[in-house]
Each structure stands twice: as structure tokens, then as C-alpha cells.
Structure 1
Amino acid sequence: MRIKLIRFCQVIALTFTVAIGVGPIAKAKFAEINKNVIKNIVIEGTKRIDPATVRSYLLIHPGDTFDSERLDQSLKALYSTGLFADITMYRDSINMVIKVVENPVINRVAFEGNKRIDDEELKREIQLRPRLVYSRTQVQQDVQSIIKTYQRSGYYAVNVEPKIIQQDQNRVDLIFEINDGELTRVRTINFLGNRAFTDTALRGVITTKEYAFYKFFTFDDTYNTDRLSYDRELLRRFYLKNGYADFRVLSVVAEFAPDSKSFVITFTVEEGCIYTFGSSDFEIFLPQVDSKALRKFVLTKEGQTYDADLIDDTIYAFNNYLGTLGYAFVDLSPKVNTDVKKRIIYITYRIGKARKVFIERINIRGNVRTLDRIIRREISFVEGDAFSINQMVISEQRIRNLGFFKSVDVKNTEGSRPDRIVVNVDVEEKSTGEISFGIGFSTAESIIGDVAIRERNLLGRGQDLLFKVTTSNVATEFDIAFTQPYLFNRDIAAGFNIFRTAREKKESSYDEFRFGGMLHSYYTLQPYLTQQIRYRLEQIEIKEVDENTSRYIKAQEGTRIVSQFGQTLTYDKRDNRLDPRDGYITQITNEVAGAGGDERFFRTSVKAGYYYPLDDVWGLSLLINSGLIVGIGEEVSILERFFVGASSFRGFARGGIGPRDSVSKDALGANNYYVGSIELSFPNGMPKDLGMRTFIFTDFGSVWGVDESDSKIADESSIRATVGLGLSFATALGTIRVDVAEVLAKEDFDVPEVFRLSFGTQF
């Protein structure tokens, strides 16, 4: 018992001793912890910025302990805002003090020294603007944006220095001082690894060219990284087209030579081996489609050199054929099996499952000026119709033939259900108003000029309005014309012409005066085939006849009325009516006069044209025009005969060939004519953006025959021929065309025209 009592007392004593020792230690520890807790966060230095904005970026708050890691993260968060030029954080007893220096506000942004790129374009490339907070980081990013803008234009030696001008109220002016430097050219293009094709041949494939002193208007000899990426693809396509299925571009290295301020570009390629096509097979999962029907579209013939383009063209042909059957979104894919040892590529064409589809909706997009209904009426299908690829192609061509749009793209996308499609018609408007000027020079005449104002899409309604004046030292002509397409909402166009011509005797031995009008209408008979019918009522007067004029002209002195009906059938399958490169056109015109009036005649003419693209830039065109006129119970009036020359027969003046009075030298016109033309357009080394075309041509034909027979009439049916060189290009004034012709065959009484210049503009 005594022992237990002693132990109890020892425990009590020990507990008391520990309690006495631990109390001060615990109190000290609590004080230390309290000292590390942030009581307040004090923000100093803010002027424009609310202190609460500063606090919102902090990762520490009152009541938190001081933590160096979170303080560092808070500092980075504040700097990342770009609002502050300097930030200081320090501890003041139990408070956290954050002292900031605000970045100034940009007063204005300016550019100095830039000559190649204007201020407006540079402003679009940078992010900093007046009234934004100045940021050194953003300034450096904007400097790089300006440099990249210059590099895209070929100026790799550009230097950009940002300058700051301090203003009051913590504002600054930001000035970018720019030294454009010289245009950086490509001095040399090398190829490594090529064996099948020479460096010269491969340089002709790519778009980047070597610098040459005579390239004044081209920029394809400047260094451009985007162009080099495209050149890699062009090389790949070129080799794949020529049988090299394993071809690779290993690298493209551009080395800048500071001394010459130019680049040396080296393409390293791996050609591989040349392959041929093996047999072709099919995997068909569509009902009512068999391999026999598809076989005729296969362009990859066994034993033929491998050409990747032929595979794509075959797939395209399959897609068009299946579209005629009402199938859209067919899964068409070629499966390639390569026999490396034999160097043969076998193609299996897989035609996946699909179903016939119907048109759910037609969207017209991109037409800013032209009304929707003007475009829709050219589309040969409506919502709910079965899908047909042929109708899509025809509709796209009809919209393009309007001549209102720079580009037309008709595509189909999936609809709300698997058997529905949406047709999107995307167009890009172009100028349809024209102000044109023309000038011609003749060895017999001198200068002839004309001016015309035309709007082919009046108020976006598709209406055509023309006002034309032609004047020279011999004639003045006025012409006003208007055409309303889709009259009464039907596929019938109608319009009228009012014209007046006064021609003085400076080019003949009499004065000619014509005044009249014409009503016309045209409509579509079937795709590509149209018919025009018209009626012309005209008063013609021949007066002031010279004494030495031939008796044939004297006999027709006075006033006559012409009442004439006519029709024209046109079959037009050209790819573009304004600038055709592919397709053909045939046209037959018949006219008869005699229903009232003083003239009785029948006139017919035939015109045909064929256009064939030899490649992307070379093109060939063949044109032929012919006609005859026959009097009905009387002789044909001189003014109703055919007068050929100028633009209709380059190398001769208007009426420069054909029957002529040998005494007065008057052109008498002819009852018969034919004129042919062969024209070859070819590249000229100028960039496509200039729209410059060069061509050589030869015109040939004959104009002959009058009702009268007299020794004083010079009339020969012999063939005439000219050859010449032409140039056309787009300028601020519009398209300028120059024709220079040399006569190869003519008669002594013919009148040549050596040179002709014409130009016009659009608004």
C-alpha cells in the first residue's frame, strides 16, 4: 500500500513538472505561427487599375501563411497580364505589400521608313492599338509579325526597330522604324538525287524561279516558304505522273547569302524506280451497277506507265457516271497492290454502298449584288427533285454563262437524312459594268475611236443596258440597247436596240446615214441550244454622192426603208462565253427582208468555233465565218452586203477586202464571204495575276461577188491571208489588246491595216 502511494506521488510530481516546462514552449510556438500568417495585403502604386484587379490575380489571401512558391506564382500571374512594367513583393511585419508600376497606355502607333508596304496593311498585322496598355512582350510579337509580312513579299533583309516616345499622363507613342531592305531573290536552285530528269526540267516544274535581269513584272524569283511547300507537292505530282510511285522529297534547304542578298535553294529527292500498271479489278457493293458499265471509264490500262492522275481521273469519271444514276456520296476508293520485284501496280476500284438521294435544299451564297432569283432561275432542278450530277454540271455552266461572277462553284453536302442532300451554290461577284475605249490605226484611214458604257447586271436583276458611241474622222455611231431576261418569269429574254449612224465621204465617195431600231427575243430550246428571233426597221439614206462615183452607188442615192425579220440558232458548249478555252460553238443565222419597206433579200450566215486547251497555259482556237445574200427580184443594196476587215479579218481595214470600184476606190461590199482564223495562245513568262496573254494568229478567207458585172468593178474570189502577233493584258484601264499583222496574200485593190489597239475598263 505504501509502495502504491509513493508511485502515485511520483506520477503527480512528474506531471506537474512537465506541465510547468511545456507551457512556455507552447506559448512561444503559437506566437511564431501567428507571425507567419498574412494579416493584410497592401496594394501600392496603382493609378488606373483598381487594386481589386491586382488581388484577383494573387494566389495568396489574408489568413494564409507566407509561402514563397505561391508568392512566385502570383508574381508571374501579374506579369502575364501585361499591365505592369515592374512588380515588387515584400513582407512588412504581418502584412504583405505588393508595389506595382503600371505600364503606360499607347497614345498612337506609327510606322516610319516603310516604302514597300503601306501603313494600313501593317496595322492589320499587329495587335497593339491606341488606348491599349503598352506591353514589351506584345511589341516584340508585333515586330515579328511585321518581319513576317515583309518576308511573305520577298523582303528578308528588312529591319524593324520599335521606339517609345514618352508623353504626359503615363502615355507613350509607339513608333516602328522600318528599313525595307532590298528584295531578296532566289539566285540558284539545285537538285540532288535526280537521275531521270535534269535540273533544268525540274526547274520548269516548280513555281519558284531563279532570278533573271529581264524579269521586270514577276515575283516568282523571290524566296517564299509557302511557295516552296507548294513546289514540294508539284515535284511529287510530277514524278507520280511519270511512273515513280516511291518518289520522295527528302529535304528543301534554303541558304541565305548575305553578301549577295539572295537565296540558294537545294531540293534533295529520292526518285525510286519506275512502275507500270497491272490489271484493274472491281469491288462493287451497289445494285444495278456492274463492272462492264464501269470498265469503259477506266484509264489505267495494263502495261501503261504508272500515272497517279489517271487514277484520280478514273475515280472522277466513276463519280460522274454514278451521279447520272442518282447516287451521291458514293464511297469510291482505289486499293493499290504493289509488286516491288516486278515493279507493277495493281488497282482495285472499290465502289461502296450508297442510296439514291433527293435534293433537300438549295443554298445561294456569296451573291452580294445579284438577286437570289436571278441565280435560281438558271438552276435546272428544284427542292425535292432526284439528284442528278448532269443537271448540276449544266446548272453550274448556265450560272457561269451569265458573266456576272468571277467564280462559280456548285457542290453538294449531306442533308438531314441519308437520302437527302443540300446543294450549295457559291459565287463570287465581279464587275459587270464596263467603260470601254477603242482606238484603231489603218494605213488608209488614220485613227478611229469608240467609247461604250454597258451594265450587264443592272441593279442585280440580270438586265443588260448598253450605250455606245463610235467616232472618227469619217463616222459617228450611236447605239442604245436593253435586254430583259426571263420576261414574265419565263425562260424568254426580250429587248430592243435604237441606233444611228452617220458616215461621211472621207472613206468613200458618198455620205451614209442610218437610223432605226430592233426588237429581239431569245429562249432556250434544250440544254446548250438557244434561238433568237428579231425584227429590224431601219431608214437608210445615201447622199452627197460625188460626180465620179460609180453608177451603182448613184443608182442607190436617196432614202430607203428596210423591214427585216431574222432568227439565229446557237449551240454553245464552250466552258466560258467571255473567255473560252475549251468546247465549241455553232451558229446559223437567217434573215429576210420584204414584209414592207423597200428592200427584198434573203441573207444567211454560218459561224463555228472550236477551242482546245493544250495544257494549263497553251490553247488553240479555230474559227470559221461564212455568209451569202441573195436579192429577191432585185439587186442587193450596197449597204446590206458583207463588209469584212478590222477585227473580223485582222490585217485589213474595215471593208478592206472584196469588190471595189476601181475608179472611186469605194468598197462595194460583197454577196459572199468566208473567213477562217487559227489562233495559238502561249505563255509569256509573266505572272498570271497580270492577266497577260500572247498569241499568234493567221486569218484567211475571201469576199467576193456582186449582182452587177462591170469592168470598173475590181472583184476577185482569190484567197487572202494574214499572219500576226497579238498581246492582251489587264490594266487599270481594263483589257488592252494589240494586234500586229502582216499580209501574206492580197489583191492590189485591197486595203491593209498593219496595227490595231483596243482597251477598256470595268466599274
Structure 2
Amino acid sequence: MGTVHAKADEHFKEIPDFAQKQTIRELPEKEQIKEVDLEGIRARVDKINVDGLARTKNDIVEDCIRELFKATDFQDVLLKAHRARVKLDELGCFKNISVFIDTSKGPKSTPDGLEVTFNVKEHKRLTGGVSTQVGNNEGALLVGMRAPNLFGRGERVQVEYSYGSKKTTNFNVAFIKPIRGRHRSAFTTSVFQQHSEWPPSSYKLIERGVLLDYGFHSTSLLKHNVQWEGNIRDLSVLSRSASFDVREQSGVSLKSALRHVLSVDLRDDIIFPSTGGLFKLTSEVAGLGGDVGFCKNEFFLQSNYSLMDDVVIQGSLWAGYLTPLSSGHKKIGAADAFYLGGPLSLRGFRPRGCGPRSADGDALGARCFWSAGVHLFAPLPFRKGSSKGGLADLFRTHLFVNAGNVLADLDIAGKSGDSDLIETLLTNLRLSYGLGIALRLGNMARLEVNYCFPHSYDKNDQTQPGVQFGIGVQFL
């Protein structure tokens, strides 16, 4: 929340009501300090100052702080000041924001009045840097340049280039425009080029396209992203040993898709959450132009429950469903299918190790999948007492059980209805379990080193018993 200071002028003679309710005295060292009920202290905000504005326009700042005038007690002032600071930070105009709360002064001050001051420091007109990012079980070097707050209302242009440890490259130019209003919305348009290689499926993919995104909050916790993506995809074989099933999908295709992403994140931490949950639902329709057409739905659910101090049980469920459009001339490519297996999805299996394969062993993807996991995270057993803040806090012991299944063709089970589809997805279940160590890498990723025991699997699956490394943000 930043730095919040409450202070009073020593020469100020009239003491507000909320200050009169507290007796200031020196306490003996052994005497316990009583808690103060801030909700019972009457207070209101008389004046708000924002110091440090140069390029930023007043109207967009006023939208972020006007709720402070509705505060009715001191606790409400603190909470609304924190929310105002978060909104100011989301604008992307400032690199430092501090909050100061003082008693109100002047002829128009009220007995319970407060004066809130925000000290801000704007970004430079052009910033850049080199950093690292982690995702999809690989690390990447990121070089970026950004021009923030171009026209004074949070608009910015950013250029990024990344190179991953698995030969993944990404170039992206984006323009972001925050939109005034209570929905905390923003419009983003970007032009991108991505190159990725997928050895388990023996293909590489180059995508060049445009992405339009409108993000907003329908409630304080419910976030929506409405997107349109149009890209040209060039799929080619990775080696001479690629199977015919992959070769026949090689070539250039055009994809035009509408996508809606609904997300609710109530977790107290994204790396090692102890309470709360995450729900994310992605719906996509491709075929509004181009030669690729399908309907795709995917959801991810995670719930965390703290059993005792730093001992957390976590449950997660991940599933997806892909169907072709009714028009027969639209196709579904290998890049659109679902894949299961690997340290981020189904531990104990190689990446893309579950599901249908060609005669040469290439993973071909599936039309439907589900996976679930139960995890137990606990502190290291040799941590000294209840001491916190040391190196040991970055580690957790990890016990897990994962299960899942894939379905290559929906026609196999869909002819008899949904009940037959569910029965097929529960047949030939994949199951693994194991234990290991998880390491927090700042607030950007988690590293897992697990010893895995694949228990149930298909004869064509590629298992990985023993030690398995995984690095990323979203794990099953």
C-alpha cells in the first residue's frame, strides 16, 4: 500500500474528536499495547492533494481518488487510500507513489477532517531495460523499450523482444490506452511475430499477426478480456524424421478468431498461495475469415486451503473442449489442439507425452482433455522454530497426485451423447504421484524439482519416472 503516515501539527490547538478518544502516554516495556478499533474513529476527507504531476492530466487522476471523499471513518480512509493508490499505479504513469494522511487545517476544515496527500513521481518519457521472464517451462531474455504516458492520460507504446532457452522468439509492438470510468478498462492493440519449436510434435511454427484487446472489470474482482486475433501461421517440419501426419499439415494458414477470457483471482499470493482460489474461463471462436475454424473452450480452477501455519492443501482442475465448425472447408491445425503431459500439466509424463501419436511417435494433439491435481505444500522440515524471512521461506516441500485423460476424436464418444463422452474420458485414466521441492523465484515464477512415479498410463504414452524439473507460473 506504500507508506502511510498519520501526523498532527504540534501548534494546532483544536484536537479532532477521533484524537480525543485516545489517551497518549508512555507504556512500560512489558505492558501489552491494546488494539485500536479504527472503524469506530469518525473521520472524513476534507482535501486531497496530488504532488508531482507534470504531464499527467487532472481528470484521469481525479477518477482514481474521488472515492476517498465518501469515507466515513478512519479505517475507511485507509482502505480507500490504498485502493486509490492501486488505481494510480494501474495507470502506468508513475514509478513511485506515497500516501500521507494529516489532520485538516484551514478555515474550511471540519472537526473530524483529514487531508490526504499523494506524492507521485512520473516515469521518464522513454524507458527501457533488459530482464528475464519465465513461462511454459523455459526462461527467456527480454529486451524492452517503453514510452509511457504519451498524451497525459496513461497512454503508452512498448516494444519487446524475447529469446527463450528453447529457441522461442517473440517480437511485439503494442499501444495501450486506459479508459476512464469505474470499470478500470483499457484498450490494447499489438502487432506481433512469434517463433516456436515443438520437438515432441516435430514441427515449428511462425505466427505474424494483430491482436486487439479490450479489458475491463464488471465487478471489483471479475475481469473480462474481449479479444480479436488475426494471424498468418506458417507451420513446417522440424526435422527429416517428421511423420506424414505432421507433414500434411505443413504450410501457411490464416486464422481470424474472437476470444473472451473471464478470470477471478482471490489468491493471497500467485506463487505459494495459502488461501483463496483462481478461476479462468477462455472461450474462442475461429472462422470469421481465413481457413481455420473451430469452437474452443478451456477452463482452469484452483483452490487453496491452509491446514496450519504454512501447511497448505491445493486442488486444481484443468479441462478443454474443441469442436470444428459446421462448415466443412475450415480446418483445425496441430497448433490448435490440446496437449497433455509435462511438469506444468501432468507430472511424471514427458511434455506432450499423453494422447494420440503418429506411427513415428509424434504427438498429434487431442480434441478434449481434463487433468486434476491435489498438492500438499509445507515448510522445510529443518527450518528453525517459527523464524521467518530467511532463505528457507523460499522453499516448500511438495507432495502431489495428478490424474488426467485426453480424447483424440470427439466422434468416437459423441455419437451416444454427453454421458458416453464422460465415460470415455474416465476410461484409460493417466495417474501419477510423487514428492519434491518447490522454490520461489521472486514474484515471477516457481521452480519445482520432483521425483515422479507414473502409476497408470497408455502403452503409447511417454512417461518420465524419476527426477523432473519444471519452471513456470501456472502449474496444474
TM norm structure 2? 0.66
Match of 2:378 in 1: 682
Task: Please identify the structure whose Cα radius of gyration is greater.
Answer: 1
Deviates more, 1:509-518 or 1:586-595: 509-518
Q: Which of 451, 456, 481 lines up with 2:141 in the alignment? A: 451
- Cα deviation for residue 454 of structure 1 reads 5.8
Which residue identity is paired with 1:655? R
Match of 1:755 in 2: 468
Unaligned residue ranges in structure 2 (runs of 5+)? 1-28, 413-424
Distance in structure 2 (CA, Å) of the matches to 1:721 and 1:546? 31
Q: Any conservation in 2 of the 1:568–1:587 contact (CA below 8 Å)?
A: yes
Distance in structure 1 (CA, Å) of the matches to 2:65 and 2:388? 37
Q: Which of 247, 254, 259 lines up with 1:566 in the alignment? A: 259
Between Structure 1 and Structure 2, the one with more helix by share is 1
Match of 2:41 in 1: 329
Q: Does residue 669 of the first structure (1) align with residue 371 of the second (2)?
A: no
**Counterpart of 2:402 in 1: which secondary structure?**
strand
Q: Does residue 700 of the first structure (1) align with residue 412 of the second (2)?
A: no
- Cα deviation for residue 632 of structure 1 reads 0.8
Q: Which of 526, 534, 539 lines up with 2:227 in the alignment? A: 534
Distance in structure 2 (CA, Å) of the matches to 1:688 and 1:368? 36
Which residue identity is paired with 1:387? T
1:466-485 matched pairs, under 5 angstroms:
467-471=160-164, 475-480=167-172, 482=174, 484=176
Which residue identity is paired with 2:319? S
Match of 1:606 in 2: 299
Match of 2:48 in 1: 362
Match of 1:145 in 2: none
- Cα deviation for residue 468 of structure 1 reads 4.7
Distance 1:746 1:696, change over 3 A: same
- Cα deviation for residue 677 of structure 1 reads 3.6
Q: Any conservation in 1 of the 2:452–2:468 contact (CA below 8 Å)?
A: no
**Counterpart of 1:526 in 2: which secondary structure?**
coil
Distance in structure 1 (CA, Å) of the matches to 2:53 and 2:470? 35
TM norm structure 1? 0.44
Unaligned residue ranges in structure 1 (runs of 5+)? 1-231, 238-307, 321-327, 331-356, 442-447
Distance in structure 2 (CA, Å) of the matches to 1:424 and 1:613? 38
- Cα deviation for residue 689 of structure 1 reads 4.6
Distance 1:509 1:759, change over 3 A: closer
Q: Any conservation in 2 of the 1:364–1:372 contact (CA below 8 Å)?
A: no
Which residue identity is paired with 1:594? G
Match of 1:387 in 2: 72
Q: Any conservation in 1 of the 2:344–2:470 contact (CA below 8 Å)?
A: no
Q: Any conservation in 1 of the 2:156–2:177 contact (CA below 8 Å)?
A: yes
Match of 1:737 in 2: 447
Q: Does residue 719 of the first structure (1) align with residue 430 of the second (2)?
A: yes
Alpha-carbon deviations, 1:697-749, whole Å to 9, x = none?
42523241223889xxxx97513334332332568x99773422413334241
Distance in structure 2 (CA, Å) of the matches to 1:370 and 1:619? 46
Match of 2:282 in 1: 589
Distance in structure 1 (CA, Å) of the matches to 2:59 and 2:471? 32
Match of 1:660 in 2: 357
Alpha-carbon deviations, 1:328-376, whole Å to 9, x = none?
615xxxxxxxxxxxxxxxxxxxxxxxxxx542133568x9999797995
Distance in structure 2 (CA, Å) of the matches to 1:522 and 1:585? 18
Distance in structure 1 (CA, Å) of the matches to 2:136 and 2:301? 26
Q: Any conservation in 2 of the 1:630–1:636 contact (CA below 8 Å)?
A: no
Q: Does residue 396 of the first structure (1) align with residue 82 of the second (2)?
A: yes
- Cα deviation for residue 598 of structure 1 reads 0.7
- Cα deviation for residue 385 of structure 1 reads 3.1
1:484-503 matched pairs, under 5 angstroms:
484=176, 486-487=178-179, 491-503=184-196
Deviates more, 1:741-750 or 1:680-689: 680-689
Q: Does residue 417 of the first structure (1) align with residue 116 of the second (2)?
A: no
Q: Any conservation in 2 of the 1:582–1:610 contact (CA below 8 Å)?
A: yes
Distance in structure 2 (CA, Å) of the matches to 1:394 and 1:656? 49
Distance in structure 2 (CA, Å) of the matches to 1:571 and 1:439? 21
**Counterpart of 1:595 in 2: which secondary structure?**
strand
Alpha-carbon deviations, 1:615-659, whole Å to 9, x = none?
664444433322211111246322101223343444444322232
Which residue identity is paired with 2:437? G
Q: Does residue 523 of the first structure (1) align with residue 208 of the second (2)?
A: no
- Cα deviation for residue 553 of structure 1 reads 3.3
**Counterpart of 1:494 in 2: which secondary structure?**
strand
Q: Does residue 642 of the first structure (1) align with residue 353 of the second (2)?
A: no
Distance 1:506 1:696, change over 3 A: closer
Identity over aligned residues, as a percent? 18
Q: Any conservation in 2 of the 1:452–1:466 contact (CA below 8 Å)?
A: no
- Cα deviation for residue 562 of structure 1 reads 0.6
Distance 1:471 1:613, change over 3 A: same
Distance 1:730 1:538, change over 3 A: closer
The structure, 1 or 2, with the larger RCO (C-alpha pairs under 8 Å, 6+ apart) is 2
Which residue identity is paired with 1:359? V
Distance 1:611 1:387, change over 3 A: farther
Q: Any conservation in 1 of the 2:228–2:257 contact (CA below 8 Å)?
A: yes
Which residue identity is paired with 2:431? R
**Counterpart of 2:82 in 1: which secondary structure?**
helix
- Cα deviation for residue 570 of structure 1 reads 1.9
